[in-house]
Structure 1
Amino acid sequence: MIFRQITHDDLGCASYLVGDSTAGVAVVVDPRFEIDIYLDLARYMNVRIEHILETHNHADHVSGHGRLAAATGATIHVHRLAEPEYDHEPFDDGWELAVGDLVIRALHTPGHRPEHTAFALIDGNRGPEPWALLSGDTLFVGDVARPDLAVDKSEGARGIFTSLQSILALPSECEVWPGHLGGSMCGGPGMDMKVSSTIGYERAHNPILSETDQDSFVEQSIAKLGPQPPNFQAIVALNRGPLLTSGVEPLPLTPRQVEVKQSEGALLVDVRTDRQFDDAHIPGALCITKLNAGFGSKLAWVADREQDIILVGRDDEDAREASKLATAVGIRRIAGFLHGGMTSWREEGRPVGRIERVTVDELHERLDADPELQILDVRAQGEWDAGHIPGSVHVPYHDVTEVPEAFDPARPIAAICGSGQRASLAASLLALHGAATVLHVTPFGVPAWGRAGYALDVEEASVAAAS
């Protein structure tokens, strides 16, 4: 039997290639948009990819089912409630696909989406019980899926609760291989970076699975929901619509062309490290490094899908890689990249912007010297509630669409988060929207402020929850 997990580390997605080497046949489950790895694995293992299975219409990334079907001639299978516009073979609960001695059994598990289906894997050479479950977006390692991306959140949570009952009835030793790892927007804060688990371990140690009352389960599921991804409906539409078979090939642009396109309304996205950005960047560019996980998710939060985007990297390869990550979240209007990277801009003596970097201790000293220093906390609501710097203002980084009304744009504003990564994007957004002086607090952030013994305010709701 063949079994391979393929992760998309930027988005926290997992896909699978399974099959039977003796029969020479393989199946890909939830393929990502860049399909080369599946073709390479199939060639290496001397198998044919004959089937593509989708657990559901994905809302966080663009599927590669169209490209993979075009490349291999494979048949796409998805639950009939998905109702896609492309050619496919629909299935229902209990449907089975035999691939040599491997049997893949469909377990309809609605909740995350009405059509959602998990797949139990049965190895006929070893026994009749499922040895593994491709749980998709129902059960994760340490958490469960969010219920609000297709239906009313309460209805979705009740669906997930019911679906989990059938999943948890599988043998304790059955392995759990989820559709997402920690960092994905399709789950909650309890999601682990671990790539797999077992039914028995999750039953014993996944906190929300210990909740046997449906109403309490629903309440807990809804309470921890973060904001909905901004383009999830557009991604679902892409995944349900006519098959996408082409990627995006960005064009190299000269500094002059970049300048012209920016003046025409294009958004510049600098994908280098935040340190390189702070030291020198094209004025008006946003800082979203591709070297840390979450590039695509952050870009999807702040970019307009109908706006041209210009990528700026250390070199051309940087920008091309970033273009692939953008395409994976449905951002396809890539108007080009700065040929030669930021070096080419500097060599022509063109103007650059700079952002001052300050540590947590330096921020504390600055605040003592100037109590009117403005601090913008760009973390999530739960992080803010758990503790924030007195006098700071809270706006999550993806909601910084202007200089907050509480601030004087002529006075310095320090952007802070938990690690420094979200603060780098927020600092660039503040500069783009007209803040005269922006400080980027890095490395670390508010948690380090608390560890240093500096004062923190805590919201009453957070205190009550902790007690």
Structure 2
Amino acid sequence: MKIEQIYTKCLAHAAYYITSNGEAAIIDPLREIQPYLDKLAADDVKLKYIFETHFHADFVSGHLDLSGKTNASIIYGPTAEPEFKAIIGEDGQVFNLGDVKIKLIHTPGHTMESTCFLLIDKDGKETAIFSGDTLFLGDVGRPDLAQEATHKNMEELAGILYESLYKKIIPLSDDIVVYPGHGKGSACGKKMMSETVDTLGNQKRINYALNQPHKESFVKAVTDGLLPPPGYFGANAAMNRQGYEHFENVFNRELKALSIEDFKAKAIPNNVLILDSRNNIEFAKGYIPGSVNIGLDGNFAQWVGEIIIDVRTPVLLITEVGKEEETIIRLGRIGFDNVLGYLDGGFYTWKNTENEINIVNTIASKDFVSMLVAADNDYEIIDVRQESEYGNGHIKGAINMPLNQIHNWINEIDSEKHFYMYCQAGYRSIIASSFMILNGYCNFTEVQGGINEINSIIT
């Protein structure tokens, strides 16, 4: 028997690949399925099952394409109503996989179809649980995402989640290994650990949600402080439930090199977004007017979903040369299937033909610190980090306006009054800068290197 966790840092997502005696199962696969097909071929095993812990909201699963290529059965838990062929398992149902068994445990609460899968080895010992978004390391799944679909409020869903965890998961043996669906950085929880594997016994000891004295305190603890979910979550959940276009077709259509003339022609409609996935430092030095920067070297998919929101948005790409395929794949993971192509040769093709370019108005951290020390008057400063980061330390007088809420606060900005803007290291403040410039706000200065560099200078 082999268990492999396939972790994708950009989405803080874990898929799982299990083999036993010539048969394989994959749990919660991502949309690009070739890596899974390669593993199956290398191990010379047949994919028997694709287990889905729930209808994911933060990414588009590869269940349909993978089933189409392998004829493997797609398995959901009770109450799931997919609009395609799938097996809807019963609570407690056991699936044989080679010499091992996988037991379905229905654990509603995050969503009503949410399910964990318990691995039982060839000797009958319960050895591992694939907990999806029901149980994370250090946290549990947020109970506010399925409110509209279930006609239940988040407190009701949290109460259901309590029953699932306390009656079905906590009674399991302490030595069972927990393999969660996400890790730290995912928007599907709020207190997840950076580790991605742990024992259930340790989680019983340290996980705040598993140490509540009663249901009422659990409900309060897991619903308190939840940030609004990213705007694209609803579209992804719908795609996973209803079906989607084969990603191979999407990829082949979108991987289209465009000349400057073709690029300009496609950029004319007002609803077309130019997305620049280069490093934030390079973007600040020069970019095509009207483009938004979300760099591949950060949580690209999450921020695309937060900033662009509508997965149907027509997108033109500016990438580092050689990063075109990766950018398209990572957009496809969250259902952005309307890429019109990419500029052949990237930004420097544009620059070298003497087309207009813009820069972001920035200030070096050392100059910013010197300015603050010498200043007789107060400057308006915006901190675009999360509230928790801001609470752990910020520039004196800075106002917290988190990037993930920019659509709510951007119209509150006085376009006539200059301000400075920073984040942790510069990635998010350049995203914010590009989006604000696109929306007509130019009277600001971005602080290079963010609070990391500021603190290194001050100390």
TM-score when scaled to structure 1?
0.90
| Amino acid paired to 2:234 | Q
Counterpart residue number, 1:16: 16
Written as runs of structure 1 = structure 2, the 5 A alignment for 1:200-349 is 200-242=201-243, 244-247=245-248, 248-249=250-251, 250=254, 251-265=256-270, 266-292=272-298, 294-303=299-308, 304-315=310-321, 317-349=322-354
Residue 159 of structure 1 corresponds to which residue in structure 2? 160
Q: Deviations over 1:97-141 (max 9, x none)?
A: 0112110000111111001010000111xx323100001111111
Please state if 1:177 is matched with 2:184: no
Task: Tell me the equivalent position of 1:60.
Answer: 58
Where does residue 136 of structure 2 map in the other structure?
Answer: 140
Match of 2:381 in 1: 375
Q: CA deviation at 1:343?
A: 1.4
Percent identity between matched residues is: 31
Of 389-398 and 148-157, the range deviating more from structure 2: 389-398
Distance between the aligned counterparts of 2:62 and 2:419, measured in 1? 42
1:312-335 residue CA offsets vs partner (Å, 9 max, x unmatched) = 1121x3122111111111111111
Q: Specify the code of the residue in structure 1 equivalent to 2:181.
A: G
Q: Which residue of 1 aligns with 2:150?
A: none
Q: Which moved more, 1:386-395 or 1:145-154?
A: 386-395
Q: Deviations over 1:188-214 (max 9, x none)?
A: 1x2122120001111112233221221
Structure-1 separation of matches of 2:18 and 2:199: 18
Tell me the distance in 1 between the aligned counterparts of 2:297 and 2:379.
31
Say how many residue pairs are matched.
Answer: 446
1:34-113 aligned within 5 A: 34-113=32-111
Which of 417, 422, 433 pairs up with 2:423?
Answer: 417
**Structure 1 residue 114 and structure 2 residue 116: aligned?**
no
* CA gap 1:380/1:156 in 2 versus in 1, 3 angstroms: same
The aligned counterpart of 1:356 is 361
- Pair 1:432 & 2:430 matched: no
In structure 2, the residue matched to 1:7 is 7
CA contact (8 A) 2:48 2:97 kept: no
Report if aligned partners of 1:19, 1:102 keep a CA contact under 8 Å in 2: no
Taking the aligned partners of 1:326 and 1:313, their CA distance within structure 2 comes to: 13
The one-letter code matched in structure 2 to 1:207 is Y
| Distance of 1:432 and 1:123 partners within structure 2 | 56
The one-letter code of the counterpart of 2:14 is: A
Comparing 432-441 and 208-217, the one that deviates more: 432-441
Deviates more, 1:232-241 or 1:374-383: 374-383
More moved, 48-57 vs 241-250: 241-250
Q: Residue 448 of structure 2: which of 442, 445, 453 is its match?
A: 442
Distance 1:178 1:405 in 2: 39
RMSD: 2.1
Equivalent-residue separation in structure 2 for 1:312 and 1:417 (angstroms): 24
Q: Deviations over 1:225-282 (max 9, x none)?
A: 1111201111111001135423423221122322233331211111110110011111
Decide whether aligned partners of structure 1 residues 287 and 223 sit closer, same or farther in structure 2, where only a CA change above 3 A counts.
same
Contact kept? 1:401, 1:429, Cα under 8 Å: no
Q: Could you give the per-residue CA deviations for residues 274-317 of structure 1, whole angstroms, max 9, x where no partner exists?
A: 1100111111211110022x1011001111323211111121x3
Is the CA contact 2:317–2:343 (under 8 Å) kept in the aligned structure 1? yes
Deviates further, 338-347 or 411-420: 411-420
238-247 vs 91-100, which deviates more?
Answer: 238-247
SS at match of 1:3: strand
Q: The residue matched to 1:314 in structure 2 has which SS?
A: coil
| More displaced stretch, 361-370 vs 179-188 | 361-370
3-state SS of paired residue (2:79): helix
Q: Distance in 1 between matches of 2:457 and 2:206?
A: 33
Pick from 22, 26, 29 the counterpart of residue 27 of structure 2.
29
Which amino acid counterpart does residue 214 of structure 1 have in structure 2? K
Q: Deviations over 1:321-372 (max 9, x none)?
A: 1111111111111111111111111111111111133344432333444746
Structure 2 SS opposite 1:415: strand
Distance 2:457 2:221 in 1: 33
Change (3 A) 1:236 1:173: same
Is the deviation greater in 431-440 or in 100-109? 431-440
**Matched-pair contact (CA < 8 Å) for 2:94–2:102:** yes
